[in-house]
Amino acid sequence: MKLLEEHIVKDGTVLPGNIVKVDSFLNHQIDPQLMDAIADEFYRLFGDKKITKIITVEASGIAIAIMTAKRFGVPALFAKKARSANIDSDLYTSAVKSYTYGNVYTITASKQYLNNQDHVLIVDDFLAMGSALTGLIDIVRQSGATIEGVGVCIEKAFQPGGKHIRDMGLPLQSLAMIESISEDGQITFVPQKEEK
């Protein structure tokens, strides 16, 4: 998605450790016009599937999920990060390792809002090691729902998360795929077949 790649190059910054900071438009301050375009693109990619719910995890996936949900005309559902050790029996749960913070946290979603009749599109802002997405996939599988697609805004293609998810046989689409980051912070994207 050209527009997103342009935003990353123009407004993103590369920090030591190949961290791509996009908090001016994607995950702290959020540009609603870009969100609209992202939702349109997910609809272009997955709109032919029978989708009943858009799933993400808090916090930075929520804006993407609600805008995509609006585009598809279905509810959004965001998995929550558990704040206590007491997990209700009416929750699906999965453990997620955070490489940024070096800890493991639990994400949860209510069994009330996800079941084996659902056909879901999972969305998130970033895909690097893939641990948050793997947790979401785990939760959706517990529910028996069908995963119709996984849509990610920015994939770091030089990290293993994307391969891991594609190897599960899931239709993963990343709107911008970072192939490499040079030592002086220059970003190279994987050329996309169908660009918009």
Query: For residues 72 and 189, which CB has a smaller minimum distance to a copy of itself in the complex?
Result: 72
Enter the DSSP assignment of 102. Answer: T
Query: For residues 108 and 173, which CB has a smaller minimum distance to a copy of itself in the complex?
Result: 108
CB of 80 to a copy of itself, least distance (A): 7
Residue 10: how many CB atoms within 10 A of its CB? 9
One character per residue 13-52, x = contact with a copy of itself (rule: CB under 8 A) = ----------xxx--xxxxxx-xx----------------
Burial class of residue 116 in the structure, from the number of CB atoms within 10 Å of its CB (0-12 exposed, 13-18 middle, 19+ buried): exposed
Instruction: At 188, list the tokens.
Output: 């190279």
Place of tokens 């995509």: 68
Cα–Cα dist 107/63, whole Å: 18
CA neighbours closer than 13 Å in the CB half-sphere of residue 34: 21
Interface with a copy of itself, residue 111, by CB under 8 A: no
Interface with a copy of itself, residue 110, by CB under 8 A: yes
Considering only 15, 83, 183, 194, the residue that binds a copy of itself (CB under 8 A) is: 83
Cα–Cα dist 60/126, whole Å: 9
Residues that bind a copy of itself (CB under 8 A): 23-25, 28-33, 35-36, 58-59, 62-63, 65-67, 69-70, 73-78, 80, 83-84, 101, 109-110, 112-113
